[in-house]
Amino acid sequence: MLRGLRKASSSWLGQVVMATVVGFLIIAFGIWGIADVFRGSGRQTVATVGGVEISADQFRQAYNDQLQQLQRQIGRPIPPEQARAFGLDRQVLQKLMTDAALNERARQLGLGVGDDEIVKHILQDPSFRGINGQFDQTRFEQTLRAYGFTEPRYVAKLRGDAVRGQLADSFISGVTVPKTALEAFNRYQNEERNVDYVVLGPAVAGDIPEPSTEVLTKYFEDRKALFRAPEYRKVVLLALSPETIAKGIEVSDAEVKRAYDDHLSRYTTPERRDLQQIVFPNQEEADKAAQRLKEGTTFDALVKERGLKDTDVNLGLVTKTGIIDPAIADAAFALPADGTSDPIKGRFGITLVHVNKIEPQQVKPFADVEAELKREIALDRAKATITDTTNKVEDELASGARLDEVATKLNLPYRTIDAIDRSGRDPAGTAVADLPDSPDLLSNLFAAAVGAQNDALQLKGGGYVWYEVAGITPGRDRTFEEVKDKVEARWRQGEIESKLRAKADEMVKQINGGTKLADLAATDKLQVQWANNLKRQGSPTLPAQAVAAVFETPQGSAGTAEGRDASERIVFQVTNINVPAFDPNAPEAKKIEDTLKRMLGDETLMQYLQKTAADMGTTVNQDVINQALGAGNQ
């Protein structure tokens, strides 16, 4: 899978890479279960499916790709030991074995995707387009190289995913969803509830007496780890991205103007016309209609006389190239506004075309796009030269120079951070701003030795970051005197939370015993609020945890939940529950049916894969897996 192209919604490249992750990874959980036979199948083979072997290199690469993907999704590093504790290695192996089984079955069934289709998808992928909006071979090669792909490997990936998709989709078509399941999901998704509620804030907790030194000391000793000073590191960073290089690239005004002129269509919104048409069965009827229009009959009147609907005649606001029939397009765009053509011999019959309005062509002035176009040209050149600059940095480092010396010599910006902890914060607890966008950076900073040279890390948007550790301040236990204020603030917050929970629980008990919420609110001078038509999907007025509690509470009963944070408590009473009648023809019902159909199709596919795996036979070599992870994730 690709490391960097994670935005599946933005390009087909991302969609291909992510498609099987979304569908098959979940399915695979039930396929290669505890019953797998763990035995050796080759010194460098982690698993076999039938006659297909999965090598240690394949597994290691897939594991590292998936680990980096997860790190980008959650926005922080995941230590290798934690990833394995989550079962990531097992999930990746399941995915590889699922793909192998599907590939082998697709081969047996003779499924395939032609070269033309692969080429079409590559040409249409926005990731590979230059500043003119067209496919750019250089950008294609640079993008693949940046994410560790060769062209043959990437094409093989596209072809394999497409073929597996054909096989998987065959299990989705024809699936029917039971009406009972549709009604149950409808109830879950569309059930609505009304609640009255009050919010208990810190003031309701009352006065919190000043704690004694003994109380705070004991609180501190019991929770000393919460107040521990973390390890800090002084680091030097050199981030080299296309944007960094582009800032130093000069682009002349003449170059920008030439690029503007060469790609003027990019800045041109073509003329559009709001059109209507009537198609006649023969020339005679068309001529009679044209004559009536010349005599004063309106086009709309002619439409009504022929019993036509708007959908039968309206072409909408279209460009000339948006009209399928060239003869119709030429005639329509030769007419003035509110003009009607003579009968036209079109592809689909004799046609009269009427122009309702004209939106003229618009061209963005050069001055409006000059700055952005200059930046794009510089960025394109930077992407083409980043490899050369990277090699220069590596050569200088190989000579024994320090990172700051290399940056100075090559006139590249570098940055020294005097103190940063594992979470990316400084000693004041503030997040260090503008760190290079690499999910592996912090974990690698805290695994590196002082003064050691380290391999560069890839940046999310392309490019690399080099790093050196210049010093380490070890973590330590702080003394009570150092953090006394923080200890007291945390203790006081805990007391407030405890009192609010007790108060809320007592109010719930009284309401369920017959006391009105309004009477209790008046006693504590609280304002009764209400939220109507709540759904499980969320509410703009109540936090998620409160909505979840509401849907666990019977009608007429009271409940409590945390508010916006731990210093708030919400007490509510469910006043009404409404389940809309199920309409199988409603758009919402169709969405539910499509979701359930996909789930049932996935279940059917899982059963098929279980049978396929049993027929082919599978083996897993845990020793090789351990070696692969040990070698690749030190």
Q: Which two tokens stand for residue 499?
A: 């009192």
- What number of other Cβ atoms are within 10 A of residue 438's Cβ? 23
> What is d(CA 379, CA 243) in angstroms, rounded to the nearest whole number?
6
> What is d(CA 216, CA 5) in angstroms, rounded to the nearest whole number?
51
Strand partners, 573: 196, 558
Query: How far, in whole angstroms, is CA 323 from its chain's centroid?
Result: 36
* Residues of the chain above pLDDT 90, percent: 39
Find tokens 């989550």 and name the residue: 86
Question: For residue range 98-122, what is the model confidence (pLDDT) as tens digits?
Answer: 888 877 877 787 777 778 888 888 8
> What is d(CA 10, CA 14) in angstroms, rounded to the nearest whole number?
7
Residues 95, 21 contacting (CB under 8 angstroms): yes
Q: Which two tokens stand for residue 407?
A: 């940056």
Residue 232: phi and psi, rounded to 5, are: -115, 150
Q: Residue 246: name the closest of 376, 392, 421, 430 by CA.
A: 376
- Return the pLDDT at 25: 37
- Return the pLDDT at 3: 28
- Return the pLDDT at 20: 38
> What is d(CA 169, CA 103) in angstroms, rounded to the nearest whole number?
14
Does residue 49 surpass a pLDDT of 50? yes
Does residue 6 surpass a pLDDT of 60? no
Amino acid in position 618? T
Domain boundaries, the chain: 12-174+598-632, 192-228+483-578, 232-252+369-473, 271-360
Q: Work out the burial of residue 540: count CB atoms within 10 Å of its CB; fewer than 13 is exposed, 13-18 middle, 19 or more buried.
A: exposed
Architecture of domain 271-360 in this structure: Roll (3.10)
Q: Residue 87: name the closest of 38, 157, 32, 48 by CA.
A: 32
Reported confidence tier of residue 492, pLDDT bands at 50, 70, 90: very high
Residue 277 three-state SS: strand
Lowest-pLDDT choice from 24-28, 434-438, 625-629: 24-28
Question: For residue range 524-562, what is the model confidence (pLDDT) as tens digits?
Answer: 899 999 999 999 988 888 999 999 999 999 999 999 999
Reported confidence tier of residue 170, pLDDT bands at 50, 70, 90: confident
Higher pLDDT: 550 or 386? It is 550
Lowest-pLDDT choice from 197-206, 320-329, 379-388: 379-388
- What number of other Cβ atoms are within 10 A of residue 547's Cβ? 21
- Return the pLDDT at 146: 62
- Return the pLDDT at 5: 29
Residues 545, 562 contacting (CB under 8 angstroms): yes
- Return the pLDDT at 15: 40
Does residue 9 surpass a pLDDT of 60? no
- Return the pLDDT at 77: 67
Read off the pLDDT of each residue in 168-192 and give the average, rounded to a whole number.
79
Residue 241 three-state SS: coil
Q: What is the CATH number of domain 12-174+598-632?
A: 1.10.4030.10
Read off the pLDDT of each residue in 448-456 and give the average, rounded to a whole number.
90
Q: Residue 161: name the closest of 150, 172, 173, 153 by CA.
A: 153
- What number of other Cβ atoms are within 10 A of residue 474's Cβ? 8
* Residues of the chain above pLDDT 70, percent: 90
Read off the pLDDT of each residue in 442-454 and give the average, rounded to a whole number.
90
Residue 338 three-state SS: coil
Is 271-360 in the same CATH topology as 232-252+369-473?
Answer: yes
- Return the pLDDT at 201: 93
- Return the pLDDT at 31: 38
Architecture of domain 192-228+483-578 in this structure: Roll (3.10)
Answer yes or no: CATH 3.10.50 is held by domain 232-252+369-473. yes
Does residue 41 surpass a pLDDT of 70? no
Residues 191, 577 contacting (CB under 8 angstroms): yes
Residues 177, 584 contacting (CB under 8 angstroms): no
> What is d(CA 157, CA 203) in angstroms, rounded to the nearest whole number?
61
Q: Output the CA–CA distances (angstroms, integers) from residue 210 to 3, 159, 215, 471, 495, in the order listed.
A: 54, 70, 10, 42, 11
Question: For residue range 314-361, what is the model confidence (pLDDT) as tens digits?
Answer: 988 999 988 888 899 999 999 999 999 999 998 778 999 999 999 999
- Return the pLDDT at 21: 37
- Return the pLDDT at 408: 93
CA atoms within 13 A on the CB side of 591: 6
- Return the pLDDT at 67: 81
Q: Residue 406: name the closest of 468, 448, 472 by CA.
A: 468
Q: Output the CA–CA distances (angstroms, integers) from residue 125 to 101, 156, 263, 479, in the order listed.
A: 28, 16, 19, 58
Q: Residue 41: name the closest of 621, 616, 626 by CA.
A: 621
pTM (2 decimals)? 0.51
- Return the pLDDT at 33: 39
Q: Provide, for the chain, the percentages of residues in helix, strand and coil under a 3-state DSSP scheme, each rounded to the nearest 5.
A: 50, 20, 30
Question: For residue range 78-91, what is the model confidence (pLDDT) as tens digits?
Answer: 777 778 777 888 88
Higher pLDDT: 32 or 423? It is 423
Calculate Rg over the CA atoms of the chain: 33
Q: Residue 83: name the closest of 59, 64, 96 by CA.
A: 64
Does residue 634 surpass a pLDDT of 70? no
Q: What is the mean pLDDT of the chain?
A: 83
Residues 327, 347 contacting (CB under 8 angstroms): yes
Read off the pLDDT of each residue in 564-577 and give the average, rounded to a whole number.
94
Amino acid in position 434? D
> What is d(CA 277, CA 281) in angstroms, rounded to the nearest whole number?
13
Residue 177: phi and psi, rounded to 5, are: -105, 125
Q: Output the CA–CA distances (angstroms, integers) from residue 571 to 1, 540, 541, 561, in the order listed.
A: 48, 17, 14, 7
- Return the pLDDT at 69: 72
Residues 398, 454 contacting (CB under 8 angstroms): no
- Return the pLDDT at 2: 26
Read off the pLDDT of each residue in 475-481 and give the average, rounded to a whole number.
93
Lowest-pLDDT choice from 353-367, 402-416, 447-461: 447-461
> What is d(CA 529, CA 276) in angstroms, rounded to the nearest whole number?
54
- Return the pLDDT at 19: 40
